[in-house]
Structure 1
Amino acid sequence: MEHPVERAERAAHLRHLRHTVRFDSYVWLLTDPVTSVGASPLADVPSLPDLPRLIRLKYLTEVNRWTAPDQPVTTLRRTTGGDRALSLVWRELQSSYDVGDVASLTFRDDYGTWGFLDLWRSGDSARFTDTEVRALEREVRPVTGVLRRAAARTFATPDLGGSPAGAAVLLLSPDLVVRAQTAESAAILQALLPTEPGRSPVPAAAYNVGAQLLAREAGVDPSPATTRVHSPSGAWLTLRAARVGTDHPHHGSERPGADADSDIVVTIETATLAERADLFARAHGLSPRETELLGLLLGGADTHTVATRLLISEHTVQDHLKSVFAKTGVRNRRTLLAHVAGGPDTSSAPDNLT
């Protein structure tokens, strides 16, 4: 979801957090603001081979789930009253790594959920104190703003190519083991999460949408098994997961009585204009009326048509446009629409509101 500079920004903030609280391992994912499904991980956990299992259990665990409308910071011990075995991911995995407590931070604002961060503290008696939780709570709001602005900055970079021609596909087992993938998907995943030369790419984004499908099927969370992620080429990509043989794989829907032993197919496609526009509006903090105006502009509407459709005056349309320009940092409609669509800005007009 970000350029390397934003990845470095997260790493720098983790170094800052170490001066606030002690932690031994961490997992920080950016999320689709609508579905809250993760991608773009930054992590340091004890065993990389356990990554698919960790992700699967994380999504199936209801305790301290980042999608719950709870406090911005929770801890495993406080939520479970000290009975950590109530957490599926702790009971089946983290306990074997001597994880004593987990502080979970959710980065959410009025425009969506932009990421979550789990801080692991080792030692059977380890726990995060109330003072440490309050210190972490003070970090959540500013970091949420940083993540949303980072997403907004991606739209200032045109799509330089490298998007999949059609759908790139992976096939996962129900345990999220990669059974097969196309060459296109391997190249995309390598670009999203670079690995050392000669190593296979880590399909973390595919694991996440696959795990969300399992959570959806289990009734843990109803959100679609889909996420949008920003690639180094400048393109926004959409990943979706569905069981093999489902009637509507592009919507992540399940057949009634779908076989839980069926494999999971994950597709990676270039995000549609509507998907980009939604992200653009959320990342730049546009109001519902400004978002509606943007949609009309993308459909080719002029000022008069926008005014008629929104039942407002043309003067009010111009006021809304000025607000959109101020929030997005552009100076004319052509540049605005180019940023949303991912194309180059060909405008030379310095300040054009019409």
Structure 2
Amino acid sequence: MTGKSVDVLTAGVEQVLRTSSGPVALLEAVAATVRGAVAFDAWCVLTIDPASVLPTGGSHREGLPLEYMPRLLEIEARGEDALALADLARIGRRAMTLHTATNGNPESSSRYRDILVPAGMAHEMRVLFEANSQTWGAMVLFRGTGAPDFTDTEARLAATATAGVAAAIRREMVLTEIEAEDAVEGPGLLLLTPDLEPITATSSAAHWLDRIDDDRDPHLELPFCVLNSAHRARSRPGPSRTRIRTRSGRWLTLHAEQLAGTDGNVSIILEATRPVEIAALIADTYHLTTRERQVVGLLTRGYSRTEIARVLAISAHTVDDHIKRVFAKLDVRSRPELTAKLFFDHHAPRIENETPVGGSGWFLR
């Protein structure tokens, strides 16, 4: 690897990072630029949720034939094959070939046997895009039968020249989030009497109320979930917060509170749920405790029980107890099943619907 080749490729990558917009388009431009220094026959790029190291989108048009995609998703989602993204992130390798990952025995890889060989591909290299120990994207490169394998020099070149890609992906995701928020109706205010009769509602509140997926009280003409939130606010001190879903699949957060200095009037603020709260809904769906959420996050990122114990400063026996409870709540029997369930239940449907990804790395709805 010569200094000139690194400098030239790095400069080219940095140029596309400055001029490309949108995380996937940016990654496609990076792949095209890398191709000028590292030859390959097929490729795909991925955006990745740094919390779980699971894909959130990408481009596969120049990748493996689509007929192999179902089997590929199954293998990738389980995270137990060679070159699993979570394993690369955990060991801190930004670029690695399948030959290296399998100690020179690619036939031991399910992906190699079931997909690469039938698709006419003999070699694979993966490049992770990381910043501050968080993985934001990946590039997967393939070479066909008869072509030489990717060399260690090429792996180092690709890793070095793309060091700034992760920060650019996150920047584009933040811009996506800002643009999405600009297009979303703002918070609305609904004011109710002590008997929960509507006093007034702003236009934004009316917008959200009309989109709530719930039956309505025939007298008050309000969704029952809104009335339930108001009742809860009247029965306890301080604000009450509830998350509900609209007919289009968006999530709303309701902040209900009995107003001081009145005869018991109730105010309800309705607003689009923030992405960080939506991510928490996954854990809420399965009724996971805070510690169980931490264990799930580490499990999906490939950490062993001993490593989890060290990170969380608890005993390995306690880790085992948490894992047993997590598996029971999610109805899975192993780490691969857990990772696959999270991907197919929460990532795959959003990817299929082309849901945009925000600055946290999680989907915007």
TM-score by length of 1: 0.47
Greater CA radius of gyration, 1 or 2?
A: 2
1 or 2, which has the higher helix percentage?
A: 2
TM-score by length of 2: 0.46
